[in-house]
Chain A
Amino acid sequence: VKFDAGVLLLSTHRLIWRDQKNHECCIAIPLSQVVFIEEQAAGIGKSAKIVVHVHPASSNKEPGPFQSSKYSYIKLSFKEHGQIEFYRRFSEEITQRRWENMPTGQTIQVNKDPQAGRIRAVGIVGIERKLEEKRKETDKNISEAFEDLSKLMEKAKEMVELSKSIANKIKEKQGDITEDETIRFKSYLLSMGIANPVTRETHGSGTHYHMQLAKQLAGILQTPLEERGGIMSLTEVYCLVNRARGLELLSPEDLVNACKMLESLKLPLRLRIFDSGVMVIELQSHNEEEMVASALETVSEKGSLTADEFAKLVGMSVLLAKERQVITALLLLAEKMGHLCRDDSVEGLRFYPNLFLTQS
């Protein structure tokens, strides 16, 4: 679809797009047609986008660029700034649904000139003028900081372009690039904060930095893990490590990337991802079957058990008992293995011995 360079406007009733070059060209969609919107982050060679899912067109739809389309969504591509703010405002308008309350007399009139066959947007000209005035005012106030920032970003953009071109080379070579070169490239990307475009991973998304970090973590976390029944959620680890550091903190991605390397570096800890998506670090010596057997015994003795009760009884750290989701995950595993069955009521999840299994 050739709707390039333009200005996107959001009113309480509609989403309007106007061609920057040809001011006569203007298209709009009523907000009532929008089902759902989602964001797509920018990447190499891709601008940030908003995807707008719409209802099928009704039969009394006004004429527009297309009478029908095989797609049920529109993509708005933000080549310059504004995607985040626009998404936020757009979400607001969709949630508030103000078009339902305001009488139609107040909407912007779009006049059709039947003789010339053009569509003039009268109300929109006024809005455009106001935007222009505001822009000029902001221009006057642009601080040196913003100018410097823009220049810096231009240079950063060059780095992104260069990394794109190298990434393409790597993809083409399909295995001819040395590991060393790959690692170097990854560390350059890390420095710039550019997402790794080469999806084929040899050693995870890690760099030397992450390898070192993994080894450090193994040292730092040994005792805390032992104190907590051998298992901690990644969120706990993030807080623990960063609080200890005070400065030069780890980003969540740094932590995850380092943890992904634990196993391949044969360190005494490993990363595990439960079905629910919860991520934990556990000691290699942490034995799944033992935990499950222990859960089974306790459940039999007490008749039934909730996740919280189990944690407290087994002596798993009180702190971990607060990480209810970790315990639930373990008990769900025991259930999956057939040892327990559940009663899922409004009062919470409670586990019972699986009598079907043991008493047949």
Chain B
Amino acid sequence: MHRRGVGAGAIAKKKLAEAKYKERGTVLAEDQLAQMSKQLDMFKTNLEEFASKHKQEIRKNPKFRVQFQDMCATIGVDPLASGKGFWSEMLGVGDFYYELGVQIIEVCLALKHRNGGLITLEELHQQVLKGRGKFTQEVSQDDLLRAIKKLKILGNGFGIIPVGGTYLIQSVPAELNMDHTVVLQLAEKKGYVTVNEIRSSLKWEMERAKQILEHLLKEGMAWLDTQAAGEPQYWLPALFTELYSQEITPEEANEAIP
């Protein structure tokens, strides 16, 4: 009886088949890479055409920018990943957001000593617009948020905290967990919060409330008013811009530029 698959001859044959299979595998990947290269060139052309017609629309229209970004996100493409990417090079979206990133960092640095590294999106928006001057591109809050999401990658502690319908932007690597966030949200209504308010709204024990507030104090994100009627009040300077919306002073501006 002739047994198949056994013996040195069969093993050698099997190895040869495997090698040929692998080789074909290599050829397949090479083919696909070549195909991708060609398609990439075609895509670049399409993008150039799109840019020649609509680059201005993207520059001038924040809503269109949002649609553009959303669609990219949906298909799994990040137009802001690299300054060397097609999107950045041809549509100019890269430079817009990367420069915005620099401006955001500078504003946050300049104001850090005032607010401990927490600032509302509104105030950040105002200050950035002031810094940019009248004749530059319009910048929306959505633009700021996207720029900030990219900045996080630099390991600088940038974070976005939702509070009362808007956002607080964190620009220092302070540890803020959910407890801190919830207290910030509670303080948003009046700009300050007290230990007892925390205890009654959130049903926390005294120790937990105090610990969270002390951390915020230490980080410079909260200031303590011991002379308030009733019990001490913990104020968040980030939230009382209505009272203190001052310009960035020249000294502060100097400190902001590395």
Interface residues of A (CB under 8 A from B): 36, 41-48, 78-85, 91-92, 95-96, 143-146, 148-150, 152-153, 155-160, 162-163, 165-166, 169-170, 172-173, 176-177, 181, 184-185, 188, 190-195, 209, 232-236, 238-240, 242-243, 247-256, 273, 276-279, 319, 322, 325, 344-348
Complexed CA–CA distance, A41 and B70 (Å):
11
- Would you call A160 and B218 a contact (CB within 8 A)? no
Contact status of A162 and B67, CB under 8 A, knowing A238-B102, A240-B258: no
> Complex: how many Å from CA A233 to CA B157?
12
Task: Check if B72 sits within 8 Å of A249, measured CB to CB.
Answer: no
Q: Which residue of B lies closest to A90 (CB)?
A: B162
**Within 8 Å of chain A (Cβ to Cβ): is B232?**
no
Interface of A is mostly: helix
Instruction: Provide the bound-state CA to CA distance between A254 and B81, in Å.
Output: 8
Q: Which of B1-9, B49-57, B127-135, B235-243 contacts A (4 or more CB under 8 A)?
A: B49-57
Inter-chain CA distance A45–B76, complex, in Å, is: 8
Considering the complex of A and B, which 5 residue pairs feature the smallest CB-CB distances, nearest first? A279-B155, A249-B98, A236-B258, A252-B153, A91-B162
B144 within 8 A of A: no
* Across-interface contacts of B214 in A (CB, < 8 A): 346
In the complex the two chains form, is B154's CB within 8 Å of A256's CB? yes
B258 CB contacts on chain A under 8 angstroms: 232, 236, 239-240, 319
Neighbouring B residues of A188 by C-beta, 8 Å: 33, 36-37, 40
State A252–B50 Cα separation when bound (angstroms): 26
- Report whether A234 and B156 are in contact in the complex, using a CB–CB cutoff of 8 Å: yes
Q: Which residues of chain A come closer than 8 Å to B80, judged between CB atoms?
A: 193, 251
B25–A166 touching, CB < 8 Å: no
B29, A36: Cβ atoms under 8 Å? no
Q: What residue of chain B has the Cβ atom nearest to residue A165's Cβ?
A: B32
Q: What is the interface size of chain B, counting residues whose CB is below 8 A from a CB of the partner?
A: 78
Is residue B109 contacting chain A, with contact meaning CB distance below 8 A? yes
User: A44 touches which one: B72, B76, B83, B153 (CB < 8 A)?
Assistant: B76
Contact call A84/B82, Cβ cutoff below 8 A: no
CB distance from B149 to the nearest CB of A (A): 9
Contacts of A155 in B (CB 8 A): 42-43, 46
Q: Does B178 sit at the interface, judged by CB under 8 A?
A: yes
Neighbouring A residues of B66 by C-beta, 8 Å: 84-85
Within 8 Å of chain A (Cβ to Cβ): is B143?
Answer: no
Closest CB in chain B relative to A106 CB, distance in Å = 20
For B165, list chain A residues within 8 Å (CB): 92, 95-96
Additional A-B contact list (20), CB under 8 Å, known A181-B33, A240-B258, A277-B173:
A42-B74, A42-B76, A44-B76, A81-B70, A95-B165, A96-B164, A153-B71, A153-B72, A156-B75, A169-B29, A188-B36, A190-B81, A209-B82, A235-B155, A239-B102, A249-B95, A251-B83, A255-B154, A277-B157, A278-B173
Known A92-B162, A188-B37, A234-B156; contact A145-B75, beta-carbon cutoff 8 A: no
Q: Which residues of B contact A44 (CB under 8 A)?
A: 76
Q: How far is the CB of B248 from chain A (nearest CB, A)?
A: 14
Tell me the bound Cα distance from A170 to B26 in angstroms: 10
Is residue B84 within 8 Å, beta carbon to beta carbon, of the partner chain?
yes
Residues of A within 8 A of B163 (CB): 95
Which residues 67-114 of B sit at the A interface, judged by CB distance below 8 A?
67-89, 94-95, 98-99, 101-102, 105-106, 109
- Interface residue? B212 (CB, 8 A): no
- In this complex, the member of A95, A250, A252, A346 whose beta carbon has the largest number of chain B beta carbons within 10 angstroms is A252
Interface presence of B257 (CB below 8 A)? yes
Indicate whether B14 reaches chain A with its CB closer than 8 angstroms: no
Q: Given A176-B22, A193-B85, A250-B83, do A42 and B29 touch, yes or no (CB 8 Å)?
A: no
22 residue pairs A–B, Cβ–Cβ below 8 Å:
A41-B73, A42-B74, A47-B74, A48-B74, A78-B74, A83-B73, A83-B74, A91-B162, A144-B53, A156-B75, A162-B35, A177-B26, A193-B78, A193-B87, A209-B82, A239-B257, A243-B102, A249-B98, A319-B258, A325-B157, A344-B218, A346-B217
